[in-house]
Structure 1
Amino acid sequence: MDANVKQFIELDTEHKEYLLTDDLDNLQKEKKMKENVVTEWKSKFDKNNTGKITLSEICKVQNVDIKEARKQYGTPPPELADVEIIETDMPEAMRVKVCRMINEGMKTHEKDEAGLVNYLKKELDNTFGRLWHVVTVYGRYYTFYTYEMGYNFTFKKNERIFIVYKTPDCEELSNNQQ
Structure 2
Amino acid sequence: MDPFVQAFFSVDTDGDEMITIRDLEQYVDQNHLEKKMVTRWQSLFDKNNTGRITLPHFCEVLGLKAADVRIRRQEMQSMHLRLRPEFEVIKTTMSMNDQVVLSEEVYRIDLECQGETRNIADCLKRFLDLRYGRMWHVVICKGSTASSFSHVPHTSFFFLYKDNTYLIWQTPE
TM-score, length-scaled by structure 2: 0.52
Query: May I ask how many residue pairs the two structures share in their alignment?
Result: 97
Work out whether residues 81 and 100 of structure 2, in 8 Å CA contact, stay in contact via their aligned partners in 1: no
Identical residues among aligned pairs (%): 21
Q: Structure 2 regions of 5+ residues with no counterpart? A: 1-77
Deviates more, 1:104-113 or 1:158-167: 104-113
> How far apart are residue 97 of structure 1 and its match?
0.6
How far apart, in 2, do the equivalents of 1:82 and 1:106 lie? 13
The match for 1:62 is none
> How far apart are residue 124 of structure 1 and its match?
0.6
Q: What amino acid sits opposite 1:134 in the alignment?
A: V
Cα deviations across residues 41-91 of structure 1 (Å, max 9, x unaligned)? xxxxxxxxxxxxxxxxxxxxxxxxxxxxxxxx97752x4422211111100
CA RMSD of aligned residues (A): 2.0
TM-score, length-scaled by structure 1: 0.50
The match for 2:124 is 120
How far apart, in 1, do the equivalents of 2:124 and 2:107 lie? 10
Whether 2:156 is the aligned partner of 1:135: answer no
The match for 1:101 is 105
How far apart, in 2, do the equivalents of 1:91 and 1:111 lie? 26
How far apart, in 1, do the equivalents of 2:93 and 2:161 lie? 18
Larger radius of gyration: 2
How far apart, in 2, do the equivalents of 1:85 and 1:152 lie? 11
How far apart, in 2, do the equivalents of 1:120 and 1:87 lie? 19
> How far apart are residue 142 of structure 1 and its match?
1.2
How far apart, in 2, do the equivalents of 1:115 and 1:161 lie? 15
Whether 2:159 is the aligned partner of 1:155: answer yes
Which 4+ stretches in 1 moved above 3 angstroms?
A: 73-76
Higher relative contact order (CA 8 A, sep 6+): 1
> How far apart are residue 161 of structure 1 and its match?
0.8
Q: Structure 1 regions of 5+ residues with no counterpart? A: 1-72, 170-178
How far apart, in 2, do the equivalents of 1:123 and 1:168 lie? 17
Q: How does 1:26-175 map to 2 (within 5 A)?
A: 77=82, 79-169=83-173
